[in-house]
Amino acid sequence: MIEDPTILVPIDTSDPDEPALELIEVLHPLRIVVAGYYPVPDQAPPQQIREEYETEATDALEESVRQFADAGAEVESVLVFTRDRTQTIDRIANEYGCDAVLVTGHVEGLDRVLVSLKDEQNMFRVLEIVELMMEAGDPEVTLFHAESIEKGSAKSELYLRGATDWLVERGLDREAITWKEPTAETQDRDLLDLAESHDFVVMGEYEPGIRERVVGDMPSRIHERTDRPVLVVRKDRGQ
């Protein structure tokens, strides 16, 4: 069970985004690990880039840390110079025991939350994050079944009904929950389209078992297309 989550927030220290402080306030109390990374070009020696840009990167990281701390979060930070952002984020998430990774983005409100559920093993960890958000507000929730099965199948309905019942038992109005069941051919497009009409996206690790399992292709695509923040909930490493 996720009670006080540890969330990894990757920050590109060469071009930092504004931290999604509204989310930090909603998910409080929590521990934040700010992973400041500076991209190293393929042909450049990492040590040379570090010597040239370490002061700039450190200043950007410290500013992000200060903002999270001012929002009431317990904050740790780490600065790395890397050619492989994805591998670095995955490594740091493992080292610090992070429950989720936040792909930051522009937040206008938290009234509509899109929840992408795929892996049954991870479903309740994803829903526990939604429960934390419910404690700070009364969002409308769209449950999206990101699974390549026939639309309207009994398996999909049971899965979504179980997730709905779990949220209702914890105080969410059943009328505030809707379902979306894509087909195998439309699931990526449907998820991207839905993200545009929601304030925030919560999803499980999208590609478990491979290097890009934490912030793989789909969370990045959602962020690039919509500028919405995406919280990727990791599997329980203790299982």
pLDDT at 213: 47
Q: Is residue 238 part of a domain?
A: no
**Do 34 and 59 reside in the same domain of the chain?**
yes
DSSP string, 62-99: HHHHHHHHHTT-EEEEEEEEES-HHHHHHHHHHHTT-S
Q: Is residue 239 part of a domain?
A: no
**Domain stop point among 54, 71, 103:** 103
Q: What is the mean pLDDT of each run of 10 residues along the chain (239 residues)?
A: 81 86 70 94 90 96 91 90 90 92 81 85 85 79 75 72 92 89 73 90 68 61 87 76
CATH code of residue 86: 3.40.50.620
Phi, psi of 143 (to 5 degrees): -90, 125
**Do 33 and 95 reside in the same domain of the chain?**
yes
**Do 151 and 188 reside in the same domain of the chain?**
yes
pLDDT at 31: 86
**Do 86 and 44 reside in the same domain of the chain?**
yes
Q: Work out how many domains the chain is built from and give that number.
A: 2
Q: Is residue 161 part of a domain?
A: yes
Range of the domain at 157: 112-233
**Do 220 and 118 reside in the same domain of the chain?**
yes
**Do 146 and 125 reside in the same domain of the chain?**
yes
Helix (H, G, I), strand (E, B) or coil at 29: coil
Pair of tokens at residue 157: 């309905």
**Domain stop point among 103, 121, 146:** 103
Q: Is residue 11 part of a domain?
A: yes
- 58 Cβ contact list (under 8 Å, min separation 6): 13, 36, 79
**Do 96 and 128 reside in the same domain of the chain?**
no
**Do 50 and 157 reside in the same domain of the chain?**
no
**Do 32 and 64 reside in the same domain of the chain?**
yes
**Do 119 and 220 reside in the same domain of the chain?**
yes
Pairwise CA distance, residues 77 & 9, whole Å: 9
What are the percentages of helix, strand and coil residues in the chain, rounded to 5? 40, 25, 35
pLDDT at 148: 52
Q: Is residue 97 part of a domain?
A: yes
pLDDT at 18: 77
**Do 209 and 116 reside in the same domain of the chain?**
yes
Q: Is residue 25 part of a domain?
A: yes
**Domain stop point among 61, 76, 103:** 103
Q: Is residue 13 part of a domain?
A: yes
Q: Is residue 189 part of a domain?
A: yes
**Do 139 and 212 reside in the same domain of the chain?**
yes
